[in-house]
Amino acid sequence: MLLSRRTAVIFVVLSILLTQLALAHGGSKSPAVGTIKVSLDNGMLNLDAYNASLHDVLAEIAERSQIEIKYGEALPYRVTLSTRNLHLEDLLRKICPSFMLIDEVGDNGAISRRLYLFSRASQQATNTPNNVIRAAAAGGSTREGGRDRVISTVASSQDDSSGSSKHRPAEYRPDELLVRFRPDLEPEQIEAFNALNGATVIKKVPALSMYQLKLPDGSDLTAVQKTYQDSPFIEKVEPNILLRLPQVTPDDKYFEDQWALQKMMVPEAWTITTGSPSIVVGVLDTGIDAKHPDLIHRIVDGYDIVNQQAGIPEDDQGHGTQMAGIIASEGQNGIGMSGVSFNCMVMPVKVLDGNGTGTAADVAEGLTYATDHGAQVVNMSFGSYGHSEMLNDAVQYAYQRNVILVAGAGNDNTDLPAYPAAYPNVLAVTATGPQDEKWPAANFGSHVAVAAPGVSILTTAVNGGYLYGTGTSHAAAMVSGVAALLKAKNTQYTNVQIDKLLQTSADDLGAKGRDSTFGAGRANAYRALTSSP
């Protein structure tokens, strides 16, 4: 028989008022409140319940059917129902609108049946038949060629700090989702739900309770995402958005070496502090050239998120080495150049691959890693026009732990918000030239906090060399260096105070006061260090 000598686990997650089905008794006296009678006849269940606790009804069903029940939450509901000759799943359907049924094969070949009962906690939950989940898991669609593709619906104005309703298409991984399950769920429930949809876990970021899931080849990402979104098990679900380095070629023009330091009055700031080895700047990027003579003594261990390797991640692209050099290239060593905060340390966290591409999942993990391992400042010189809730959660996780967050505004000469720069509590930096003019390709908009030199910036290159680079990436690294100087001057400064100092001490450019081109103005290191928060 189907139900005899078989054990299944029912995790009950109910948060709705269940429909009470009235039992007509003619002129006879109604049963006593709380009456429950469950019987099992040839594998079929019979139930008589009158105004009975759902908890007690399920307990009786469990006893008769040899089923273990584990309650995910309180069940403050009552049931009135009389029914005969029902299979277990049909009876559960009477008292719970939706459930998930999974057959499992044990090591000894025995098949057991696991049942999960879903709540219908809000009107957002679907009213579709129970087999909709199975259909979504098994369903397929044509898949566009290539690892990544473009979708226009991912980019959203829901957190558009510029106030613009415009957006650009965002790129994403077509076979991956980022998911946050309800915190009260058991690991077995999460595993079963993923298995039902054919999803496997690539990794979990515990700090964010975020799962990165891989879907079967040929899956319809939109359909599977909706299945997750409609489930009461899920708090958040979204595609795994791609973030990229700005498309700028290193500049070969030779201005006066490190003109940007003079423009920002960094040498004057060095009379107050040149930084401290106790101040660590997390550089979320492509890695670092750990053998570079101007960086070798300025590096603490980081992590390679892309390849999941501990230690100092190798830079197979070059951009991360450039950012690290601007921030903390060693000064007063008789070679090369000086970083803005040349006595501070950098923590390289590789979140972008050799093509300069990363995902929201990797950046979110990298940001939480840097936060949890002591970075007081984090530089993020990359971006996407797609908004990721999971990445925003990582940003707020870091900010709530007193991390100063700096990001390049983007190199497309647009006022569209690029992320992470446009997330709340991130200092979005645009780029200026030697005459304090806006660099023509620099992004702008109301989300821009400050400007900094970003044209022909001397910095370190892979293989021990040097180059001149241009872009808001370089401007952001300049500001990260000043933020590190402020933290070194007074370790008690909070990220709120340092954000404020960087903006209130900036040299006003363009229209008087804050504007959408330069934000609060071009950063001034000396004025920042001699101002009070």
For the question of residue 285 being annotated catalytic, the response is yes
Q: Is-contact 498 487, C-beta < 8 A?
A: yes
Give mean pLDDT in consecutive 10-residue pieces for the chain, a chain of 533 residues.
37 34 43 86 88 84 74 66 86 69 64 57 29 25 32 32 54 95 89 90 96 95 93 93 77 59 96 98 98 97 97 97 97 89 98 97 98 99 96 98 98 96 98 96 97 96 94 98 99 98 97 96 98 92
Active site residue 220: no
What are 399's two structure tokens?
A: 């900010």
- pLDDT of 99: 60
Pairing outcome for strands 9-12 and 68-71: parallel
Strands, E, within 267-340: which ranges? Answer: 280-285, 302-304, 309-311
Q: How many CA atoms lie within 13 A of 23 on its CB side?
A: 21
- 149-244 has which CATH code? 3.30.70.80
End-to-end CA distance of the chain: 75
Per-residue HEC secondary structure of 472-488 comes to: HHHHHHHHHHHHHHHHH
- The angle at the Cα of 387, spanning 119 to 175, to the nearest 5 degrees, equals 65
Alpha helices in 373-529 (DSSP H): 389-399, 472-489, 495-504, 525-529
Return the SS3 of 58.
helix
Query: Of the residues 98, 162, 315, 319, which is catalytic?
Result: 319
219, 329, 473, 480: the catalytic one is 473
41 forms bridges with which residues in the sheet? 44
531 as an active site residue: the answer is no
Model confidence, pTM: 0.76
Residue 397: phi, psi to the nearest 5? -55, -45
pLDDT at position 367 is 99
**395: its two tokens:** 């940003």
Asked whether the beta carbons of 111 and 103 are under 8 A apart, the reply is: yes
Domain segments of the chain: what residues? 9-121, 149-244, 259-529
- Paired tokens of 203: 């990794």
The rounded distance, in Å, linking the Cα atoms of 85 and 221 is 40
The SS3 of residue 362 is helix
* Peptide bond just before 239 cis, omega within 30 deg: no
Checking DSSP bridges between strand 210-214 and strand 170-181, what pairing results, if any?
antiparallel
Strands (DSSP E) found in 218-372 = 234-244, 280-285, 302-304, 309-311, 345-350, 357-359
pLDDT of residue 74: 52
Q: 3.40.50.200, 3.30.540.10, 3.30.365.10, 3.30.70.20: which CATH number matches 259-529?
A: 3.40.50.200
Place of tokens 């892979």: 462
DSSP 120-164: --STTS--S-TTHHHHHHH------SSS-EEESSSS-STT-TT--
User: Exposure pattern of 411-430 as b/e (b: 16+ CB <10 Å)?
Assistant: bbebbbbbbbbbbebbbbbb
Residue 250 tokens read as 């290193």
